[in-house]
Structure 1
Amino acid sequence: MSEPADPDLKPALEAVLMVVDEPAAEEHLARLLERPRRQVADALRELADEYTAQGRGFELRFVAGGWRYYTRAAYAPAVERLVLDGQTARLTQAALETLAVVAYRQPVSRSRVSAVRGVNCDGVMRTLLQRGLVEEAGTEPETGAILYRTTDYFLERMGLRGLDELPELAPFLPEAEAVEAESREGVPSFDPDAPDAPGGQDADD
């Protein structure tokens, strides 16, 4: 049986969600507002539906395991012009390709990523680490190579609830093992603060 409607719950949710800097989980919101989780979940979905029905310039979306306000896609260009003021902040093609390999092959070492792409990707990996899109995920038992995976921030920026929502593109990526027969995995992780090695790699941004 559904919990009775609470007239103060939706405004309270709106107030909290206006100040979060990352998607807020239903369980966390329920603890903050001292309400049952089911009641909070229902109120969030009702708010999202209301904003859509009203044609508001923002929307409430469930992304990366939590809820957050986002600019509605139809009005993104106006907001982009305000925030960027004519500057671009997009990832380069090299960074996007590297991020795709990590997303579909994770956890994966940087040398395997380089093998799939056919070019040294140390600089690009450094950029992705600095931007919080990938993170270290332990080491490969056989070689000791540092492994990398995507972050919750990656899911948030991509508008995904989880990795299972990634498009079915993995079958089109070559198996790293097939193209790196002579690569050496047992190298230490690069220093994120060190300068790029000269030649043979992508510009990082």
Structure 2
Amino acid sequence: MTYPPRAVIGAALLAAGRPVAARELADILSLDEAATRTEVAAFAGALAEHGLGFAVEEVAGGYRLVVPPGLAGSLAPLLAPPALPALSAAALEVLAVIAYRQPVTRAEIEAMRGGSAGTVVTLQERELVKVTGTSDAVGHPLLYGTTERFLLEFGLGSLADLPPLQGEDFAHLLRG
């Protein structure tokens, strides 16, 4: 049996459990990327029109199925583990420096913040940042960068979606 593109898109997004790039869907559908994007938009429109309890979200360079925001509250009793505690201000500062300056060493983070970058371990445990390599500097310190999970958690399609910095100044992002 041959399935229509919308059925294949829905099944792929549900089965993948991660954002699926347009090129991946195009390969599955044997379509070009433009036609695939059109089919994804039509699929998303059909979900919304018929109130089927799913929405298509474009995030982290691909598409995924999500629960529409208006429906999420009703599902709270079914949701698995409780959310992790909010990140501290220090952790958010470190995360901002890493996001905008990656790849960056811990010493560079500390220099930009004017304080410890100890929360980088917490960010690694939450899979928001990862080691991306080592620097050529003396001692070959580790370089840090953000992960796909960072993009997912913050609803970003790519790092290009980060708000622009005002010059080289992190002051408006750090410490409140």
TM-score, structure 2 length as denominator? 0.79
Alignment correspondent of 1:140: 135
Runs of 4+ displaced beyond 6 Å: none
Q: Within 5 Å, give how 1:87-126 maps onto structure 2.
A: 87-93=82-88, 94-122=90-118, 124-126=119-121
1:8 to 4, 10, 29: 4
Q: Which moved more, 1:109-118 or 1:12-21?
A: 109-118
Q: Larger radius of gyration, structure 1 or 2?
A: 1
Per-residue Cα deviation, 1:2-26 (whole angstroms, up to 9, x for no partner): xxxx971111111111111211011
For residues 45 and 90 of structure 1, do their structure 2 counterparts lie closer, same or farther at Cα, with a shift above 3 Å needed? farther
Gaps of 5+ in 2: 172-176
SS in 2 for 1:18: helix
Alignment length (residue pairs):
167
Give the conservation status (yes or no) of the 8 Å contact 1:51–1:58: yes
Q: Which moved more, 1:104-113 or 1:54-63?
A: 54-63
Give the conservation status (yes or no) of the 8 Å contact 1:110–1:121: yes
2:73 to 73, 77, 90: 77
Alignment correspondent of 1:173: 170
For the aligned residues, what is the CA RMSD?
A: 2.5
Question: How many angstroms apart in 2 are the aligned matches of 1:147 and 1:59?
Answer: 36
SS in 2 for 1:14: helix
TM-score, structure 1 length as denominator? 0.70
Identical residues among aligned pairs (%): 32
Per the TM alignment, residue 32 of structure 1 is displaced from its structure 2 partner at its CA by 2.6
SS in 2 for 1:19: helix
